[in-house]
């Protein structure tokens, strides 16, 4: 019994490795089959499986969508700066709705790296640490549009 299984496995390995030396494989497709032992004859049998179960999961290559400035602002900024960026945050900041996008972006980058801010720097630095470039630009564009 074991000799038959070993022989069948060796044959499958040999067939799979017998490509010509100059031939290059460009892709690998999983074989939708498996070897089982016939319980009556005790011989190995190749069984076809459904292709869906043999196909590995494929990682998505779709780019993530751009951050939504309005949603980000509502979550991270509105509680201090007001729904339209019209408030002096905690009574100590400038009204940021009057700023241009570049000024807002520069301020957010400065808070993120700790080089910008006065009275409320300790509040803003932790708020900006997790922001990436796309998020900062989305926030700057949304806030400047509130003028």
Judge if 78 and 33 occupy the same domain: no
Judge if 74 and 138 occupy the same domain: yes
Judge if 48 and 76 occupy the same domain: no
Residue range 52-109, pLDDT digits in tens: 444 555 555 555 677 899 999 999 999 999 999 999 988 888 899 999 999 999 999 9
The percent helix, strand, coil of the chain (3-state, each to 5) is 50, 5, 45
- H/E/C letters for each residue in 75-130? HHCHHHHCCCCCCCHHHCCCCHHHCCHHHHHHHHHHHHHCCCCCCCHHHHHHHHCC
CATH code at 136?
A: 1.10.760.10
* 99 part of a folded domain: yes
Domain count, the chain: 2
Q: Which residue, 12, 55, 8, 53, is CA-closest to 30?
A: 55
Please check whether residue 102 is in contact with residue 144, taking contact to mean a CB–CB distance below 8 angstroms. no
pTM of the predicted structure, to 2 decimals = 0.55
Q: Give yes or no for residue 12 having a pLDDT over 60.
A: no
Q: Give yes or no for residue 15 having a pLDDT over 50.
A: no
What range defines the domain where residue 123 resides? Answer: 69-144
* 63 part of a folded domain: no
Residue range 121-133, pLDDT digits in tens: 888 999 999 999 9
* 23 part of a folded domain: no
């Amino acid at each position: 019994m074991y000799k038959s299984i070993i022989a069948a496995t060796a044959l499958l390995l040999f067939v799979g490795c017998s490509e010509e030396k100059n031939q290059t494989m460009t892709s690998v497709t999983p074989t939708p089959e498996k070897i089982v032992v016939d319980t009556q004859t005790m011989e190995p049998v190749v069984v076809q499986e459904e292709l869906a179960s043999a196909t590995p999961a494929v990682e998505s290559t779709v780019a993530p969508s751009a951050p939504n400035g309005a949603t980000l602002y509502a979550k991270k900024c509105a509680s201090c700066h007001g729904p339209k960026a019209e408030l002096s945050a905690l009574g100590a900041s400038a009204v940021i709705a009057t700023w241009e996008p570049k000024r807002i972006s520069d301020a957010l980058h400065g808070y993120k790296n700790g080089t910008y801010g006065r009275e409320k720097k300790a509040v803003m630095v932790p708020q900006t640490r997790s922001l990436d470039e796309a998020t900062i630009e989305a926030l700057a564009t949304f806030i400047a549009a509130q003028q």
